[in-house]
Amino acid sequence: MGTPKQLLEIGGKPLVRHCLDAITASGIADIVVVLGDFRHKIRPVICDLPIKMVANPTAESEMAESVRVGLGAVDSQSSGVLICLTDHPFVAVETFRQIVEAHFTDPAAIVIPTYQQRRGHPSLFPRDLVDDLFSGGNLRDIIHAHPGKVALLPVDDPETIRDIDTMDDYEPVRAAFDRRKS
């Protein structure tokens, strides 16, 4: 994208901040943020939040490596790990709460939100399953290896499937946000 997408602004606030504000507002307490190449630029934007920050020294690695790095900082007593992506910055606070509630209802399930029958983000993995990442593979491999543990959670939140990966993705979201605010 030519710039760290975490720092792209919508409504005067960087995407990473939109994401973290919703997570903290949902009541999730043990929040670990994995920072990559642009950590020196991102850290000042989020340093006032009640979060732990860790660095992925191989920022160009796959997401599974960032999850491995983050797991090292997650409370060892956590029963699950919610994997959130900055490129889904407007997931509703209530959606985070619904995912966590579904986990507490069935702690062995991999909870994946769906909107209009499409799988979205964030996903919540039981701690013991996500620890399998240390044996190699990625989150998709875990899902495929345990199809019986996947719990699809219908949510009324289109932001779970809206992904901001390119400037062509970003511009319409920014414009829509500006229209809603005016």
For the chain, how many structural domains are there in total?
A: 1
Higher pLDDT, 158 or 29: 158
Give the global pTM: 0.92
pLDDT greater than 70 at residue 74? yes
Burial 113-136, CB ≥16 within 10 A → b, else e: bebeeeebbbbbbbbebbeebeee
Domain-located, residue 31 = yes
Domain-located, residue 180 = no
pLDDT greater than 80 at residue 2? no
Q: What is the pLDDT of residue 120?
A: 97
Kindly report, residue by residue over 77-98, the tens digit of the pLDDT: 999 999 999 999 999 999 999 9
Give the whole-number percent of the chain exceeding pLDDT 70.
98
pLDDT confidence of 137, banded at 50, 70, 90? confident
Higher pLDDT, 105 or 4: 105
Domain holding 47: CATH number? 3.90.550.10
DSSP letters, 121-165, are S-EEEEHHHHGGGGGS--HHHHHHH-GGGEEEEE-S-GGGT----
Higher pLDDT, 1 or 158: 158
Domain-located, residue 27 = yes
Q: How many residues does the chain have?
A: 182
Name the residue range of residue 147's domain.
5-172
Give the whole-number percent of the chain exceeding pLDDT 90.
73
Domain-located, residue 179 = no
24: which DSSP letter?
H
Kindly report, residue by residue over 23-71, the tens digit of the pLDDT: 999 999 899 999 988 889 999 999 999 999 999 988 677 788 888 899 9
Domain-located, residue 40 = yes
Domain-located, residue 178 = no
Domain-located, residue 103 = yes
Average pLDDT, the chain: 92
